[in-house]
Structure 1
Amino acid sequence: MEAGGRESKRRHTPELLFVWRLVPFFASCALYFLVWLPSEEPSWTSALAKCLPILCLAIFVRNTAPAGPYGQFIWLGLLCSILGDIVVTWPHRFLFGLSAFALARLLYLRALGWHPIRETFLESVAVVFLLYFGLLHSHLPSYLILPVAVYEAILALMLWRALVRGRFAALGGLLSSTSDAIQAWHTFVRPLPSARLIIRGTYYASQALLALSTMEGMAPQADSSTSAPPEESRQ
């Protein structure tokens, strides 16, 4: 019973550590929603408040994710997202912000990989994105049709690969697509009530889930002294 208690403690200690390391993220989200969300005026202060939660996630991934390309590319994607958040604070720099977010999605796509294929997921995602872009494109300025189409294609590929990976990555991909879809509709088609709250809430949640996906598969190893008796004792 004592050995079982020690094993349970080992299992829960890393989980509690992850939660504590996410406290700055939750605190910065609260700061944004409670203090800066009502403000419509672009400024460096509001840009900092907006990107601070993603910076906290980038630090979390850098300090916690196991070594390897998956965590590295998620971390780089978070950094590009920070750049995008800063740039789009000023509406006249929309294309630069869109480019930064597209690069972030490409880095996430690189992390998620291309195998297995799962054609069913690809077909479903393609149908949904084509239908949505069909509704959206007539409301776009002519100079934005091609950039937005390219961005939507990248986002669709990322969602496909996230769904294939499953778990945190799948939820993160779904929320990221939802956030971008609401943002595009609110910006180009019709203003939506409480849009900023919904857009930022789903955006922060999607980034947090992608950051947490770097932790999957990090279950602690059982202590050899308790998991199996020595070879001599079994003979």
Structure 2
Amino acid sequence: MDGGEEGAPLKRLLSQHPRAGRWLSPFLLTCSVSLLWTPELQPSWPAALLKCLPVVCLVLFLGAVPTTWVHTSLLQGALLCSVVGDACLVWPETFLHGMAAFAAAHLFYLRAFGLFPLRPSLLLLALLAAATYLSLLLPHLEPAMAGPVAAYAPLLAAVLWRGLARGGSTSHGVLLFAVSDAVLAWDAFVWPLPHGRLVTMTTYYAAQALIALSVLRSPESPRARAA
């Protein structure tokens, strides 16, 4: 599951893939609209649509760039599960459904990231960070929520481990994903944070974009020519 030259400068890669750059424009536009308008809307289908559009644009972006079919399909699967999760989290009563959808997205990401290089030290760090945060969060959760959150935490830690081990924009993406989830949980279950939703969604959209951008490869590389 090789996502390409993830360490290559993003600006150079985008210049080598002008079609990919054009497909990023709808994502940036819908991000701006979503971050500007969604906080003002009550839970509704229009609010859900605005929230989901940026990630839908990333699904289309992945279909427009040259990369390996299996890797792209796994990332698209993760993004589509994320779209379901985004919609569910608009309504408080479907929060657990949203968590389940994001858990499925993380399984797709784990499959896409692969197991090499292994980097077990990163796994220990990710698990330690997850356990520390969970110990702070659990006292504030209702019993019905504590179990699902406790089950979700190690899955997110595994994605953080594999993303950091993979390197490049994927590593930055999974770090932002973890920050987004941490802010969302604290804002929802402990106490409201100033601009909590804006921070959650900004880091979330950036995370998904950075992971999606990891498919870009230099056309001059042997791996790109072999694709």
Q: What is the TM-score of this pair, normalised by structure 2?
A: 0.88
Cα contact 2:17–2:65 (8 A) shared by 1: no
Count of residue correspondences: 210
Matches within 5 A, 1:1-235: 13-39=15-41, 41-215=42-216, 218-221=217-220
Displacement of 1:65 in angstroms is: 4.5
Q: Aligned-residue CA RMSD in angstroms? A: 1.6
TM superposition outliers: structure 1 runs of 4+ over 4 Å: 10-13
Distance 1:34 1:116 in 2: 40
160-169 vs 55-64, which moves further = 55-64
Distance 2:206 2:175 in 1: 10
Which amino acid is the alignment partner of residue 25 of structure 1?
Answer: F
Cα contact 2:23–2:64 (8 A) shared by 1: no
Q: What is the TM-score of this pair, normalised by structure 1?
A: 0.85
Cα contact 2:34–2:50 (8 A) shared by 1: yes
Higher alpha-carbon Rg? 1
Q: Summarize the Cα distance change of 1:204–1:129 in structure 2 as closer, same or farther, 3 Å threshold.
A: same
Which amino acid is the alignment partner of residue 141 of structure 1?
Answer: E
Distance 1:11 1:139 in 2: 45
Displacement of 1:20 in angstroms is: 1.5
Gaps of 5+ in 2: 1-11, 222-227
Q: Summarize the Cα distance change of 1:21–1:128 in structure 2 as closer, same or farther, 3 Å threshold.
A: same
Displacement of 1:71 in angstroms is: 1.5
Distance 2:191 2:208 in 1: 26
Displacement of 1:12 in angstroms is: 6.7
What is the identity percentage for the equivalent residue pairs of Structure 1 and Structure 2? 40
Distance 2:220 2:170 in 1: 24
Bigger RCO (CA 8 Å, 6+ sep): 2
